[in-house]
Amino acid sequence: MTATGSVKDRLLAGDRRVAARIISLIEDGDPAIRPLLAELFRHTGKALVIGVTGPPGAGKSTLVERMVLNWRERDRTVGVLAVDPSSPFTGGAILGDRIRMASLTGDPGVFIRSMATRTHLGGIAEATPAAIRVLDAMGTDIIVVETVGVGQSEVAIAGATDCTVLVTMPGGGDSIQAMKAGIMEIGDIFVVNKADRDGALSSQRELNAMLRLHERTPRPPVLLTQADAGEGVPTLVDTIDQYLAQMAASGGLTELRLQHLKHETLELIGRQARRQAVAALDAGTIIKFSDALRERRLDPATVANQVLSGITANHAVGCVAPTGPVRL
């Protein structure tokens, strides 16, 4: 990439190749991209950002593909970020699914991008909101963030979206159990996909019963879809549009986005403080505390406290390597 100015202008003009390259640098955690991201920020806040998550096998990719086609019929440009919070070794589950989105790849109004966790959970939690803002600044109307799985990462990514669609499928109770165990709270709209299968209505009832327990107002709707045939998808897209329109009208959307930005900032402060503390450890200290741990003289919490007081003390007098106060 050449000067920041021209890259920025090309992105603001909607250059998809530039967007792809910026997102790669974000994924790599390249600090060189920071000034550009800082400049882009004032050009963001226009896109509607929708999270789609749920257990593996629920048919999320097919559903997202149909949703995108529906928004395209309504003349809206769409970006899809498929976030795989799995390990860098296996990866793949969601990347394989991309093939099924083939119907979208020829359309210049659609931008599809898979993002994988290259390092750790913090990595993807940091990269996702930044990537969303790149697509937002590019002028994308709707941004869909699809995640696989049912864990903390999905909850983290819900902190970057305006609304979250939780997708499950009928039968077995496993999917429902998986949803119960962790991410029920983040759903604004629930979908039972593969609704042609046995048990769709009872899954819908079960979800409705669980949502009643949560006492949320308004209670999130539970819709039925059959994504491979496109059934229920226009209603789902209508429901999302209406939900977001109401959020915008009430001022709730502005407030939610501010909360998200504040939370993101606090997380960045925390992660950076953490990195600085670990980076400040010198080899001598590490060897000393390894010995203490191996011989079970000092437990991890005691070592951590001693190391941190060492770091603080030495920072105060302006030197980096902790020496004296670390009593190991």
Largest CA distance in the chain: 69
Is residue 248 near a copy of itself by the rule CB under 8 A? no
CA proximity to 158, closest of 283, 52, 270: 52
Query: Residue 325, interface with a copy of itself (CB under 8 A)?
Result: no
Burial 211-236 (b: 16+ CB within 10 A, else e): beeeeeeeebbbbbbbbeebebbeeb
318 binds a copy of itself (CB under 8 A): yes
Task: Compute CA distances 188 → 78, 114, 120, 166, 167, whole Å.
Answer: 20, 24, 27, 8, 11
By CB under 8 A, residue 55 contacts a copy of itself: yes
Distance, in Å, from the CA atom of 37 to the CA atom of 237, rounded to the nearest integer, reads 30
Q: Which of 270, 284, 320, 321 binds a copy of itself (CB under 8 A)?
A: 270
Q: How far is the CB of 50 from a copy of itself (least distance, A)?
A: 21
Contact letters (x/-) for a copy of itself, 150-179, by CB under 8 A?
xxxx-x----------------xxx--xx-
User: Does 25 contact a copy of itself by CB under 8 A?
Assistant: no
Question: In the complex, what is the shortest distance from the CB of residue 53 to a copy of itself, in angstroms, rounded to a whole number?
Answer: 12
Nearer to a copy of itself, 125 or 233 (CB): 125
Q: Single out the segment in contact with a copy of itself by CB under 8 A; choices: 72-80, 198-206, 232-240, 299-307.
A: 299-307
SS3 category, 196: coil
Q: Does 121 bind a copy of itself (CB under 8 A)?
A: yes
Is residue 252 at the binding interface for a copy of itself, with CB under 8 A as the rule? no
Residue 292 contacts residue 298 (beta carbons within 8 Å): yes
Report the candidate in 246, 252, 8 with the shortest Cα–Cα distance to residue 133.
Answer: 8
Structure tokens given for 83:
């976030």
Taking residues 80 to 119 in sequence order and writing x for each that binds a copy of itself by CB under 8 A, - otherwise, the string is: ----xxxx-xx-xxx-------------------------
Residue nearer to a copy of itself on the CB measure, 233 or 303: 303
- Answer yes or no whether residue 294 interacts with a copy of itself by CB under 8 A: yes
Residues found in the chain: 328
* Single-letter code of the amino acid located at 319: C
Among 67, 166, 184, 191, binds a copy of itself (CB under 8 A): 184
Judged by beta carbon, residue 219 or residue 275, the one nearer a copy of itself is 275
Does 42 interact with a copy of itself (rule: CB under 8 A)? yes
| Interface of this chain with a copy of itself, residues 271 to 290, rule: CB under 8 A | 271-278, 281, 286, 289-290
Is residue 301 a contact residue for a copy of itself (CB under 8 A)?
yes
Question: What is the side-by-side strand order in the sheet with 110-116?
Answer: 110-116, 78-84, 142-147, 48-53, 163-168, 189-192, 222-224
Examine residue 220 and tell whether it contacts a copy of itself (CB under 8 A).
no
- Conformational region of residue 75, where left means phi above 0, alpha means psi within -120 to 50, and beta covers everything else: left
The radius of gyration computed from the CA coordinates of the chain, to the nearest angstrom, equals: 23
**By CB under 8 A, residue 72 contacts a copy of itself:** no
